Amino acid sequence: MKKCILRYSMGEIRKNADVRLFAGIMWRPEGDWRSALEALALSYGDVDAAYGPIEFSWSDYYAEEMGEGLLKYYVVFREPIDRGRLPTIKIHTNELERQFSLDGKRAVNIDPGYLAVDKFVLASTKDFYHRLYLSDGIFGEVTLHYRKSGRRSGGFRFFSWTYPDYREPEFFKFLEAARSPLL
């Protein structure tokens, strides 16, 4: 019987490549989403790419708190960030949501994340089996992955847990364009 010898080498710790900060901003009609976007720009710089606004019609999950007729706007910021900042950014966006609330309810919902060459990640305060703990009560979810090639053509692919608005072909086109400076 032939003996199989496996050779392992320890991986080297390297600085991660910078990523592009993303924010999905949803608001009810009386919500001050433009001021929320301005507050984000003050903290994270100029918006480089945007998609929307579009009607948020995939779910009534937010209806009780935010009402009907919700709209959503997606942005990617120009300056790259260190992905390790995502928990701090999520905490900041939660503070902004409180700041722009009306009558004790959110009028603006901000979903931060980042766009890397190979994936699209969202931050969450909610744990679930497909999310990894990052720090400070914040979890990260790989929402989309990028497939370079194979039997099917390259592009973004979603998972069973990916929110419906992040599965849309138009959203993929937006991410493709926003991804190009990372190449």
Any idea where the domains of the chain sit in the sequence? Answer: 19-182
Q: What is the token pair recorded at 62? A: 């937010």
Residue 171: pLDDT over 90: yes
pTM of the model: 0.89
Q: What is the pLDDT of residue 14?
A: 79
Q: What is the pLDDT of residue 151?
A: 59
Say which DSSP state 85 is in.
G
Residue 152: pLDDT over 70: no
Distance of CA 45 to the CA centre of its chain: 17
Cα–Cα distance measured from residue 91 to residue 100, given in angstroms and rounded to the nearest whole number: 15
Q: What is the token pair recorded at 175? A: 């991410």
**pLDDT by residue (tens digit) across 7-17?**
777 878 777 78
Cα–Cα distance measured from residue 85 to residue 169, given in angstroms and rounded to the nearest whole number: 29
What's phi and psi for 160, nearest 5 deg?
Answer: -60, -25
Vertex 17: Cα angle to 11 and 21 (nearest 5):
140
Q: What is the pLDDT of residue 173?
A: 95
